[in-house]
């Protein structure tokens, strides 16, 4: 007999089990956009315990709409090998540029990340950071609807050896350190695709003990340009952060 209560129990028990197992992590990634998911994939694939917290219902960040709703993205030669690793279909355009389907890209990276061992927690917002001994030591989480409605409900805390800010243009996680005067965030510069792609990888780094930035958050932290619907830098940024953290975790 199909009982509604058993359906509810199955969902609650399965979700709660994963959440409890994720209260202590090697890496907590905030933002399930392209750089965050790619970072999570490489971290989990190499044995790190990692979870991604995404405040929205959907994952994928800015991939889905491609450019102005044309759901295609561009990737340059340097990042093509990452498309190959994920098994994403693409077509050559010219001058070392390749075009991929935005929907296939988002869904494939997400699927491969889950299969590698990444745990996704959508509809959970990171409202603050945990700091201990001048080092980021975890994330403070709450349900997105609670924060959206302004209800005064205390959060929970997840411990993590490293946190990655993959929240995009606003660098929202790094802003928690800004308001305490610990770092400065100049914000991203205007559009310059070539420089934006180059600098998002260059500026992917540990900006405060225990806190890394990837993707557009890395450019926002450094005042570097935005790049628009070319995503190779996002992928390379996520991979770079993952490999640096794996090295520090002793799994490199």
Q: Is residue 17 part of a domain?
A: no
Q: Is 54 annotated as a binding residue?
A: yes
pLDDT at residue 87 is higher than 90 = yes
In degrees rounded to 5, what are phi and psi of residue 159? -80, 145
Q: Is 216 annotated as a binding residue?
A: yes
Tell me the Cα Rg of the chain.
Answer: 18
Q: Is residue 6 part of a domain?
A: no
Q: How confident is the model at residue 133 (pLDDT cuts 50, 70, 90)?
A: very high
Number of domains in the chain: 1
Q: How much is the pLDDT for 251? A: 82
Q: Is residue 206 part of a domain?
A: yes
Q: Is residue 90 part of a domain?
A: yes
CA distance 88 to 135: 37
What does pTM read for this prediction? 0.97
Residue 88 in contact with residue 108, Cβ under 8 Å? yes
- The SS3 call for residue 116 is helix
Q: How much is the pLDDT for 185? A: 87
CA distance 90 to 182: 42
pLDDT digits (tens, 9 = 90+) for 155-208: 999 999 999 999 999 999 999 999 999 998 899 999 999 999 999 999 999 999
Average pLDDT of the chain to the nearest whole number: 96
Q: Is 152 annotated as a binding residue?
A: yes
Count of C-beta atoms within a 10 Å radius of residue 71: 17
Q: Is 128 annotated as a binding residue?
A: no
Residue 84 in contact with residue 121, Cβ under 8 Å? no
Residue 213 in contact with residue 30, Cβ under 8 Å? no
Q: Is 154 annotated as a binding residue?
A: yes
CA distance 194 to 101: 21
Q: Is 35 annotated as a binding residue?
A: yes
pLDDT at residue 89 is higher than 90 = yes
CA distance 3 to 97: 53
Q: How confident is the model at residue 11 (pLDDT cuts 50, 70, 90)?
A: very high
Residue 52 in contact with residue 74, Cβ under 8 Å? no
Q: How much is the pLDDT for 70? A: 97
Partners of 59 in the β-ladder: none
Q: Is residue 103 part of a domain?
A: yes
Q: Is 126 annotated as a binding residue?
A: yes
Count of C-beta atoms within a 10 Å radius of residue 203: 20
pLDDT digits (tens, 9 = 90+) for 66-79: 999 999 999 999 99
Strands (DSSP E) contained in the chain are 24-30, 50-54, 72-76, 90-92, 97-101, 119-122, 124-131, 136-143, 156-165, 189-191, 205-208, 211-213, 225-226
Q: How much is the pLDDT for 73? A: 97
Q: Is residue 4 part of a domain?
A: no
Q: How much is the pLDDT for 184? A: 87
Q: Is residue 53 part of a domain?
A: yes
pLDDT at residue 1 is higher than 90 = no
What average pLDDT does the segment 91-113 reach? Answer: 97
Range of the domain at 231: 24-249
Q: How much is the pLDDT for 245? A: 98
CATH number at residue 211: 3.50.50.60
């Amino acid at each position: 007999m199909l009982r509604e209560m058993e359906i509810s129990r199955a969902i609650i028990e399965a979700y709660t089990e994963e959440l409890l197992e994720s209260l202590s992590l090697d890496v907590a990634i905030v933002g399930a956009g392209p750089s965050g998911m790619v970072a999570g994939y490489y971290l989990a694939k190499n044995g790190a315990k990692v979870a991604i917290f995404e405040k929205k219902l959907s994952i994928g960040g800015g991939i889905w709409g491609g450019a102005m709703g044309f759901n295609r993205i561009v990737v340059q030669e340097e990042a093509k090998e990452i498309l190959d690793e994920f098994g994403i279909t693409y077509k050559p355009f010219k001058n070392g540029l390749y075009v991929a389907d935005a929907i296939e890209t988002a869904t494939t990276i997400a699927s491969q990340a889950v299969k590698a061992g990444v745990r996704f927690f959508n509809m959970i917002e990171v409202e603050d950071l945990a700091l201990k001994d001048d080092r980021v030591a975890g994330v403070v989480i709450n349900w997105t609807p609670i924060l959206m409605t302004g209800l005064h409900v205390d959060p929970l805390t997840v411990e993590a050896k490293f946190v990655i800010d993959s929240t995009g243009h606003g660098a929202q996680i790094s802003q928690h350190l800004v308001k305490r005067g610990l770092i400065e965030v100049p914000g991203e510069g205007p559009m310059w695709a070539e420089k934006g792609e180059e600098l998002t990888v260059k500026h992917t780094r540990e900006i405060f003990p225990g806190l890394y930035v990837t993707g557009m958050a890395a450019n926002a932290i450094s005042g570097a340009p935005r790049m628009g619907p070319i995503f190779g830098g996002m992928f390379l940024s996520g991979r770079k952060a993952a490999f640096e953290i794996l090295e520090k975790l002793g799994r490199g």
